[in-house]
Structure 1
Amino acid sequence: MIKLGHDFTKFIDPKYYADIIADNDDVGSILRLQLISERFLEVYLSERVPDESKKFFPKDRNGTFLKYFNEKLMVAIAYGLPTQLGESLKYLNKIRNDFGHDFEKKLSQSELDGYIVLADNFKHKAAVPYLGEGPIKEMVIQSDGKRLTIADGLAVGFVIATFCLMTRAGLWLVSDLQSRGKLKLG
């Protein structure tokens, strides 16, 4: 295995996804999955936005570059993030915001189906097959010795879809960094 000099574990580490499945909480699942997707944006932006340009962007009280998800997404798209990936991230964030503003909110099959369609629209062809490639509805993952599919519950479906999406996003980012001569090994 080749170690990369980039912080990809923030959004690809299977342990995060296994913990979300183990917690079995719809609200917590969506919140944590959205935070994982935001971590991807933060890694992407840290790799893509030149340091000399960061001074022109708003910072919060702690000096954090771009505080809000939609700001991060907008800047990421402007710096070359594929719009198909952006659509998926935006949709997940909308569902998370719906939970934040509606105490009675429940996950729905139509939300999961919509998310899967958007996530499947973002494709990345790697040199070798990888877990997360192919239609999400056909994906089978292992968690705590169990084989899980999207049919095992709405929260599990969102976890599987987000894991696939973040795996594709990570591989796309490796290709992007390599094409720009910015990929760090070791």
Structure 2
Amino acid sequence: MTSFGDGNGSSYIGVGGDFANVLDHNDYLALVDSTDTAGVVLRAHLILEDFLNIWCSKTSGSEDLFKGPFIGFRSKLSIAQNLGLDSKIFEVLDRFNKIRNSYSHNRRYTLEQSRLDALILLVDDLHISENLLPCKDFSIYIGKTDTATGKNIERNYKYEDADLNKKIIIVFMVLVLKLLSWMQSEFERKGINYTIISDFLEK
């Protein structure tokens, strides 16, 4: 189960169902464990692309919409916009895609703080869920069981104490929660069937 903190250390949510592929616990453990910033950005980018796949599939009613020749992220983003993706979400995902391209095309690239701050402003400006804190006040919680010892391992990360990798992950996870909330609302408004499995844990 993937868990997300509310910034106060009091509650967490695990999500599955139709969204299980974009909220696979192993992906988030790999993100947090990674020491490679490019790897963090690329994995996060792939997860965001899966959100586009879900949106386009559900709104078009076609499970095979992108079957066949390769369709890049930017093209999928444009298709998603044509299928009703919110313009502010489009802008955030387009900005993240440009950051991803910087890492893909320059192995010595390092994300500038000014560019990260600009992304944070866009994510924070997505007024989708009133319960979510701004990126810089948010924290993430990761829990897993050590297979060797059987002991539970818990880690909590706050933006203010984080290195660049963790800051990117925190901003990305706030975006994921907002995408999840927005898509659920839109699917319900449009009468589109979907499944979601949620587990709330008290800490």
What is the TM-score of this pair, normalised by structure 1? Answer: 0.82
Large movers: runs of 4+ above 4 Å: none
C-alpha displacement of 1:167 = 1.1
13-22 vs 85-94, greater mean Cα deviation = 13-22
2:159 is equivalent to residue 150 of structure 1: yes
Gap runs ≥5 in structure 1 = none
C-alpha displacement of 1:163 = 0.9
Question: Match of 2:40?
Answer: 29
Gap runs ≥5 in structure 2 = 1-12, 143-152, 197-203
* CA shift in 2, pair 1:50/1:110, >3 Å: same
| RMSD (CA atoms) | 2.6
Distance 2:56 2:158 in 1: 32
2:65 is equivalent to residue 47 of structure 1: no
138-147 vs 150-159, greater mean Cα deviation = 138-147
Q: Contact 1:4 / 1:184 at 8 angstroms: preserved in 2?
A: no
C-alpha displacement of 1:74 = 0.4
Query: 2:126 is aligned with what amino acid?
Result: F
User: More helix per residue: 1 or 2?
Assistant: 1
Q: How many residues align?
A: 173
Question: Match of 2:112?
Answer: 108
2:173 is equivalent to residue 163 of structure 1: yes
Query: 1:45 is aligned with what amino acid?
Result: C
2:10 is equivalent to residue 11 of structure 1: no
* CA shift in 2, pair 1:110/1:181, >3 Å: same
DSSP-derived class of the 1:155 partner: helix
DSSP-derived class of the 1:176 partner: helix
* CA shift in 2, pair 1:24/1:81, >3 Å: same
Q: Contact 1:12 / 1:167 at 8 angstroms: preserved in 2?
A: no
Query: 1:167 is aligned with what amino acid?
Result: L
User: More strand per residue: 1 or 2?
Assistant: 2
* CA shift in 2, pair 1:153/1:52, >3 Å: closer
2:194 is equivalent to residue 175 of structure 1: no
* CA shift in 2, pair 1:122/1:108, >3 Å: same
* CA shift in 2, pair 1:20/1:49, >3 Å: same
DSSP-derived class of the 1:118 partner: helix
What is the TM-score of this pair, normalised by structure 2? Answer: 0.75
The structure, 1 or 2, with the larger RCO (C-alpha pairs under 8 Å, 6+ apart) is 2
Q: Contact 2:57 / 2:63 at 8 angstroms: preserved in 1?
A: no
DSSP-derived class of the 1:51 partner: coil
* CA shift in 2, pair 1:46/1:147, >3 Å: same
> Identity of paired residues, percent?
27
Distance 2:84 2:176 in 1: 17
Distance 1:4 1:47 in 2: 16
2:85 is equivalent to residue 81 of structure 1: yes
Q: Contact 2:128 / 2:182 at 8 angstroms: preserved in 1?
A: yes
